[in-house]
Amino acid sequence: MKSFNEQVWELCRKIPKGRVATYKEIARTLDTKAYRSVGNALNKNPYAPEVPCHRVIKSNGKLGGFAHGIKKKEELLRKEKVFFVNGKLSRKILYFSFKNSSS
């Protein structure tokens, strides 16, 4: 049984480029409501460049936070063709769904 954090990191790793997921969605995939802990896990994310934690944003469409600086997160997402307006996600961007990856 992996720790909650590891599960969060694995899910983030599944997020494709040009797509963004919400903390709530990740928590829901883990069958929990700990969106708080999800963000917490990403903050402690030891696999910073390995896991695209910058692709995880708030459910209300806002950026949320970032351990390396919220500004950096915005820049990274911009490179991924994910544009933000007034610190909010552009509506042209679709959220990513983890769905059932289990067999």
Partner DNA sequence: CTAATGACATTTG
Partner DNA sequence: ACAAATGCCATTA
Tokens at 26, concatenated: 């990740």
Distance of CA 42 to the CA centre of its chain: 8
* 38-67: contacts with DNA (CB under 7 A): 38-45, 48, 53-54, 56, 58-60, 62, 64-67
Among 37, 80, 84, 98, indicate the residue that binds DNA (CB under 7 A): 37
Q: How far is the CB of 96 from DNA (least distance, A)?
A: 14
- Residue 90 interacting with DNA (CB under 7 A): no
- Residue 3 interacting with DNA (CB under 7 A): yes
> Is the Cα torsion angle 36, 43, 26, 17 positive or negative in sign?
positive
Phi, psi of 80 (to 5 degrees): -85, 10
